[in-house]
Copies of this chain bind each other. A is one copy, B any other.
Amino acid sequence: MEIENRKWILKERPQGLVKDSDFELIAETLPAINEGEILIENLYLSFDPTQRGWLNDVPGYLPPVQIGEVVRSGGMGRVIESKNAAYNVGDLVFGFVGWQSHCITKAEDDDRFRVIPELLPIPTMLNVMGTTGITAYYGLLELGKPQPGETVLVSGAAGATGSVVVQIAKLKGCHVIAIAGGKEKCDWLKEAGADDVIDYKNSNVHEELPKIAKNGIDIYFDNVGGDILETVLSHININARVLLCGGISSGYDASTLPDGPRNLFSLIIKRATMQGFLVLDYLPRSQKALEDIASWILEGKLQHREDIQEGIENCPQTLNRLFTGDNKGKQLLKI
């Protein structure tokens, strides 16, 4: 049986928001798979801000996507042919499937293709039980070490990671302040349990934060960087933990590095810690996170929502939704 794969390859390095013309959507007839390989039919792609960073020619925690290569992306698919004993036809797998309709892989080099039990709908699993949920879980609990009664501030709070952080912080007895853009996202965050919300698109965070965070900030889970980070550093408490998870405000564009916070000194005055982390380091022991998250979902304690675009041809514009703030919840694309 001949299978046509439609795939987006990188044609030139984007500046700022990506354009369709930075990539090329091509069709190829797939070869027969070799011993040890599996053929996956991709079902859903996951979009995360870090993917934009991989398109820059800058060394990072993963090598940059090279010109001519398929664009790297997480996602879920189903094994439709297997010459690898670890995978059966019909298995649902999670891994770096890429912006393409099909994917052939040896799937043995590392842990990047995991077989997933189908406990929940695929979009739900790609959201809260994917890397974003694991990021939220370990970042907040292991590094932030939230104590009941502490104030936790989350930026990018309506995003896939932020919204899980908000809710886990509430489950741990914290007072939670969420920053997000637009009334619709803020209303949803209130429903999801945030004690206070700040709509950065319709109010001045610099003025609002001190009014709302009267007891200061004990933990700041930062998904945005930039000006908001600087503002928050002026309101942290002694022994505060600032967790750097992302910097969406930079656009993940290597050519436009924003000025850093001018008040890093407050880390000294407040004996505070600022820590960066990557979910990759936690994946090998993600089981505990996935069990807890699954039980919270089944008990109705963890709300989630997915923004599902459709059609492989819409990959580039779907990535941009993360940076324009158009995404309502975890950004996915159904192939």
Spell out A's residues near B (CB within 8 Å): 60-61, 225, 229-230, 244-247, 250, 257-278, 281
A260 and B268: CB pair below 8 A?
Answer: no
Q: Which residues of B contact A229 (CB under 8 A)?
A: 264
A277 and B281: CB pair below 8 A?
Answer: no
CB distance from A313 to the nearest CB of B (A): 31
Q: Which residues of B contact A247 (CB under 8 A)?
A: 264-265, 268
A257 and B267: CB pair below 8 A?
Answer: no
Q: Which chain B residue has the least Cβ–Cβ distance from A62?
A: B269
Distance, CA A147 to CA B261, complexed state (A): 30
A268 and B261: CB pair below 8 A?
Answer: no
Q: Which residues of B contact A246 (CB under 8 A)?
A: 268
> Which of B244, B259, B276 has a CB less than 8 Å from the CB of A262?
B259
Q: Can you list 18 contacts pairing A with B, beta carbon distance less than 8 Å? A: A225-B264, A245-B268, A246-B268, A247-B264, A247-B268, A257-B263, A259-B262, A260-B261, A260-B262, A266-B276, A269-B276, A269-B278, A271-B275, A271-B278, A271-B281, A273-B274, A273-B276, A274-B275
Q: Interface centre among A60, A258, A268, A275, by most B CB within 10 Å? A: A268
Q: Nearest 7 A-B pairs (CB), nearest first?
A: A260-B260, A267-B276, A268-B276, A257-B262, A260-B261, A274-B274, A259-B259
CB distance from A246 to the nearest CB of B (A): 7
A260 and B264: CB pair below 8 A?
Answer: yes
Distance, CA A297 to CA B260, complexed state (A): 40
Q: Which residues of B contact A260 (CB under 8 A)?
A: 230, 259-264
